[in-house]
Structure 1
């Protein structure tokens, strides 16, 4: 179901899985005109999470879960940031200057929040709330991808990173174990920490005690449809087994 700033997958009846893809597209809405980045920059990780949309849709199809995917570039506004985060609208990213964002003032920032950011998050809330309304506890699984190397930084060795809050590991811990048993190089809260206050997972899952995990796949592994299908196939059986655990069907309560 496409919208101006997000698309959704309904999910099978009775599902408890909500998949999110905050950076599913590198599209810049027509009303913004030319944002000033080259085609090469718009194709790389600064504009979207390469391959993440395909993995998300592959998982939704295999697992029967609902999904919400952003259809606006993270360069326009980043759904995986709190509204007061200084990187919500970036003027420079991985050494690339974004000319179209230089003049973004408070009014334009607020307009982009209302036009692109708030509707996406409202759609995620609607999927989560629909499961809760049935008296069940949803699991929120976020799909992202990361670049093998940032400019001027060392190469990243991980093939997949599992991000979590270090407290509720009901999905993250067994998922890391399962992937490592298959021989993958797995990052535990790498290449990023799993807690940024007010980010998408914090907002939709962590603050509500819902089982959750953020999965980062290295984007050279999912840059084409074959890689995206392969990784959806790798992840789906592990997630299915983990989500079937009764402990994952409850809200988290700290000891």
Structure 2
């Protein structure tokens, strides 16, 4: 755990939004949902980060459509949902502190001037006030469920852009990510592909999960030994309410079936 005894002035003022939103914290579902890149808020002290308004609408600022999908999933499944309100350009809440892109200087070709030349102390302050409360909330929800004797399956909800600047087109519509323990991800993907064979889906595309580039799954899923997966839905499919509702329904159905199969198989 980082020590914050030498902090600079606070990042968040009383007028800034709280970094974490917890929905349906007592939900009875076995699923616990997190959405690390839901919001686009910027602390007042940072102005606009030096980033143009049009770029704040892009995937570099937040995961387009992921919050809407997450909210639908929470309602359909009766699942707790932990949402992050601040832009990933301020601090990426799915990165460890040491990751170079946890507070990116450039993101997919766009400079973030407010992040240039940050001292370690300034970086720690952002981490302490924005990233840490989000993960403390996830940990508290999971701890309460342990105390109540409730099972937990951790689902981290994200979206990805169809194409990075200068990169190839990404053909996948759904990516299902895991690292050390891919058992639940494999069950979910098998169920989803059987029910939706026309949808292009794959394991560990367009990204992979690892300790250097991810936080939620390694810390809250793997260390606790919980079934888990990270979902990546292509963001052009979930830009509106209809797409978000459609994808949430498909994902929820496959999650329930994959969990039931695991219970029957004893894994």
Calculate the TM-score normalised by the size of structure 2: 0.88
Give the match for residue 172 of structure 2: 158
Alignment pair present for 1:98 and 2:98: no
CA distance, structure 1, for counterparts of residue 22 and residue 87 of structure 2: 16
Q: From 201, 206, 209, give the equivalent of 1:194.
A: 209
- Counterpart position of 1:212: 228
Q: Structure 1 CA distance, aligned partners of 2:159 and 2:182? A: 22
- Is 2:191–2:257's contact at 8 Å kept on the other side of the alignment? no
Report what 1:57 is aligned to: 71
The alpha-carbon deviation at position 246 of structure 1 amounts to 5.3
- Give the 3-state SS of the residue equivalent to 1:152 in structure 2: coil
2:93 corresponds to: 79
Q: Does the aligned pair in 2 maintain the 1:78–1:117 contact within 8 Å?
A: yes
1:232 maps onto 2:248 in alignment: yes
Report the Cα distance in structure 1 between the residues aligned to 2:27 and 2:101, rounded to whole angstroms. 38
Q: Aligned residue for 2:160?
A: 146
1:113 equivalent in structure 2: 127
Pairing partner for 2:43 from 15, 18, 29: 29
Q: Is the 8 A contact 1:139 1:248 kept in 2?
A: no
State the Cα distance separating 1:195 from its structure 2 match.
2.3
RMSD across aligned C-alpha pairs, in angstroms?
A: 2.0
In the alignment, structure 1 segments of 5+ residues that lack a partner are none
Equivalent residue, structure 1, for 2:238: 222
Q: 2:83 aligns with which of 65, 69, 91?
A: 69
* Distance in 2 (alpha carbons) for counterparts of 1:66 and 1:139: 11
Kindly tell me: are residues 152 and 177 of structure 1, through their superposed partners in 2, closer, same or farther at Cα, counting changes over 3 Å?
same
TM-fit CA distance, 1:63: 0.2
Q: Aligned pair count?
A: 249
Change (3 A) 1:218 1:243: same
SS of the residue 2:158 aligns to? strand
Looking at structure 2, the residues matched to 214 and 103 of structure 1 have their Cα atoms a distance apart, in angstroms, of 32
Q: Does 1:20 align with 2:37?
A: no
TM-score (norm 1): 0.92
Structure 1 residues 24 and 249 mapped into 2: Cα distance closer, same or farther (>3 Å)?
farther
Gaps in structure 2 of 5+ consecutive residues: 1-16
CA contact under 8 A between 1:242 and 1:248: conserved in structure 2? no
Please state how far the C-alpha of 1:10 moved relative to its aligned partner. Answer: 2.1
Alpha-carbon separation, structure 2, partners of 1:28 and 1:13: 30
